[in-house]
Structure 1
Amino acid sequence: MKATKIFLILALVCVGCTVLCGAVSAEEMRTFVDDVGREVVLPVEIDAVSPSGPLAQTVLYSLDPDLFVSVSATPSAMEQKYLDPRLMTLPETGQFYGSKASTMNPESIMELNKQLHIDVVLDIGEAKGTMKEDLNDISGKTGVSFAFITQNKLSDIPGSYLKLGELLDRKEQGGRLSAYASSLLAEFDAGMKTVGENKKSLIYVSSIDGNAVSLVGNGSYHANVIDYVGNNVGGHAVSSSGTGDGYTMEDILQMNPDFIIVSFTTDHAYYNKILNDPLWQSLSAVRNGNVYEAPCGPYSWMGPSSPLKLLMLMWLGNLMYPEVFSYDIHDRVKEFYPLFFHYDLTDAELDELMVYAVPNSSPAPAATQASVPIAGICAGAAVALTGVGCRRFQS
């Protein structure tokens, strides 16, 4: 009889422990609904994230560099100057979508996960038609959770950072970046109303090869900021690539834009070609000194990820409408880098970044002028190579 009682007591204790352990286990996990409606089961505390591509890598870095357990691609020599050295030691997990979609191999993810214990693979950008099925498929094959956050248009950025903060258990930084983006977009909505119908025309030259010129046309994912801040006369985009579509010099001469924005190369080849070629010199933008090369560090400012879109917006707005967006761009950039890239720019570094990106550009760096920093922005809280070493990320 005693033995029976002891057995029953032990059985009850075991049942109780099982129930308790199950409750604790359930409390340690949570369900997150991503932006294609998938229910993703995640740990309450996130500390191991893999980016699904270069856009996700840039955005994840802005949220918390310590979360990385792998990189989509090892940063280039130029990028390494601005980024946490730890990223250079991490394994590559490749890119799920875009021009290098095949580089994310399910078998490799499974093998890496044995060592990395990945909490979630983060995908960011524009939702593809088959994305829900695609993510369910690779998650099922690998046993690793994948989550997607939309960050396609400028207007998506504030909400996406709030959702990223929730997904990755980094609500404070997500709120801070969201507040910054909200304030900046409100400032530009008001400013562009003042500009009204008087938008300046522009083209974004991504490459030049003799008589062949590639432009990022209007209506493309990569032209979101260009279309918003100016009259992009590059024609309607056909290609979804960040390198844009092909035109001839005859086409460019007919466009005759007010401003020409040129893709970065380490030798400034495209910029110098436009300034020195007699054909280009017949354009009003060249005659008026309105040719500028996009800065690059750690990535080209003309890239499609949210940090780059915000930089691009501030830079082009001040460049094209200084009477409306009358802040000192140098101050804005020095404020931006610690917040989104966790890097403090020196004055010399800033001058080097923007040597061909400000009025009266010249090979010698221009002096930095001080001004009052943007007020109240934080209240309440690119994959193709463009030249050598600087990527303009693609989705």
Structure 2
Amino acid sequence: MIFRFIPLAAARRQVSSRATQVLAAVAMTLMGLVFTVETGAARPFVDAAGRTVEVPERARRVLAAGPPASVLLYTLAPETMIGWVRAPSPDEAAFLSPETRGLPAYGRLTGKGNTANVEAVLTLKPDLIIDVGSTASTYASLADRVQAQTGIPYILLDGGIDRTGETYAKLGELVGAPERAAELAAHAEAMIAEVEGRIDSIPADRRPRVYYARGPRGLETGVSGSITTEILDRAGARNVAEGGGATGLTTISPEQILAWDPDAIVTLDPAFHRTLSTDPLWSTLRAVRAGRVYQTPRLPFGWFDSPPGTNRLIGLRWLAALLYPDLFPEPMDSITRDFYTRFYHVNLDTAQVETLLKDAGAARP
């Protein structure tokens, strides 16, 4: 038999570590018991990934796992929110309902740069976790793991824009707001159908070729078919960044953007938008020379992306009107007011509308 000497300090650390693990396990078990007591009888719910999860009869404290889920929950049932994935900036907060501006930030459980942890989730005492976006096996596995660790039901909802109505209906069932969910679902589906109906007769070869520029240099983009660029397809544009086997976001070279030479450019970054006309690379492109560079409004959420959630509905209408002004003659200010009242629970004044739309047209060289 071989005996190994363990220093006293190290032994204490091992005991402490084991004790911490045991206490954490006990805490998670107790949380599961608290969930059962506080929320009453649970019921089975089939989420968008096909997972059957026991959920409370009516969720009252909901934690959004990522930004798209935060937006969806805010639009439908802000009273159930226990916080934000990221604290709103002062500029963003001005376009949110007063009751939600000061909610705590807890980080994200899913996606790029996840920052939340199990302890933070337990401290907030949610009775439901939701994630909105992809329902692929990677996200289903994450949901199963977090649910097993915390004892809190974790639901996946489809974030595709075509699934908006269905997703609202599912969340409405979870939070006990079916009528409000039906109203938002109907309005969302009407917005999508209106745009598609007006551009349906335009042949593919007459649709503008558009590049979506991300980042301060504009060289990051979303490939065709990704959730990031869904709005391009729906607004009647052809994404110059065809998939070619890639998915999601990709970085391109300056030579590639010159070769594409798009008809129009959409960007979220104000600094990039301001420098386009004087940049030696970008100023040679036909989109810049023609003044067809569009900066997406971004308060309180991006209109095109950032995040790829229900906030894109207003962006769909905005971009379609920029690409096809003759087909969409209605003033964007009234459409914006209505959307923000209906979905964001705020009544915009004239100054706020001007703030949103002042840079949302073409950037002239």
Q: Which amino acid aligns with 2:325?
A: P
3-state SS of paired residue (1:344): coil
CA drift at 1:168: 1.4
2:105 matched residue in structure 1: 92
1:293 matched residue in structure 2: 295
1:344 correspondence with 2:347: yes
1:220 matched residue in structure 2: 226
Q: How many angstroms apart in 2 are the aligned matches of 1:107 and 1:26?
A: 20
1:131 correspondence with 2:139: yes
Q: Which amino acid aligns with 2:46?
A: V
CA drift at 1:99: 0.9
1:158 matched residue in structure 2: 165
1:106 correspondence with 2:106: no
* 8 Å contact kept, 1:75–1:87: no
After superposition, where does 1:62-77 map in structure 2 within 5 Å? 62-77=75-90
* 8 Å contact kept, 1:220–1:237: no
Residues 1:221 and 1:131: Cα distance change in structure 2 (over 3 Å): same
* 8 Å contact kept, 2:58–2:174: no
3-state SS of paired residue (1:45): coil
Q: How many angstroms apart in 1 are the aligned matches of 2:120 and 2:355?
A: 40
3-state SS of paired residue (2:276): helix
Q: How many angstroms apart in 2 are the aligned matches of 1:26 and 1:347?
A: 43
The one-character-per-residue Cα deviations of 1:116-159 (angstroms, maximum 9, x if unpaired) are xx22111111112133333222112112111111122x211111
3-state SS of paired residue (1:194): coil
CA drift at 1:237: 7.2
2:174 matched residue in structure 1: 167
After superposition, where does 1:1-395 map in structure 2 within 5 Å? 28-101=41-114, 103-113=115-125, 118-152=126-160, 154-197=161-204, 198-209=206-217, 213-228=219-234, 229-236=236-243, 244-264=249-269, 268-303=270-305, 304-359=307-362
* 8 Å contact kept, 2:97–2:344: no
CA drift at 1:106: 1.6
Q: How many angstroms apart in 2 are the aligned matches of 1:121 and 1:45?
A: 13
Please, what TM-score do these two structures have when normalized by structure 1? Answer: 0.76
Q: Which amino acid aligns with 1:194?
A: S
Q: How many angstroms apart in 2 are the aligned matches of 1:278 and 1:27?
A: 64
RMSD over equivalenced CA pairs, Å? 2.5
* 8 Å contact kept, 2:273–2:363: no
Q: Which amino acid aligns with 2:213?
A: V
1:369 matched residue in structure 2: none
Does 126-135 or 223-232 show the bigger shift? Answer: 126-135
3-state SS of paired residue (2:294): strand
Q: How many angstroms apart in 1 are the aligned matches of 2:289 and 2:124?
A: 55
CA drift at 1:69: 1.6
2:6 matched residue in structure 1: none
Please, what TM-score do these two structures have when normalized by structure 2? Answer: 0.82
1:19 matched residue in structure 2: none
CA drift at 1:71: 2.4
The one-character-per-residue Cα deviations of 1:3-53 (angstroms, maximum 9, x if unpaired) are xxxxxxxxxxxxxxxxxxxxx999854332211223332332332111111
Q: How many angstroms apart in 2 are the aligned matches of 1:89 and 1:278?
A: 44
5+ long unaligned stretches in structure 2: 1-36
Q: How many angstroms apart in 2 are the aligned matches of 1:25 and 1:142?
A: 15
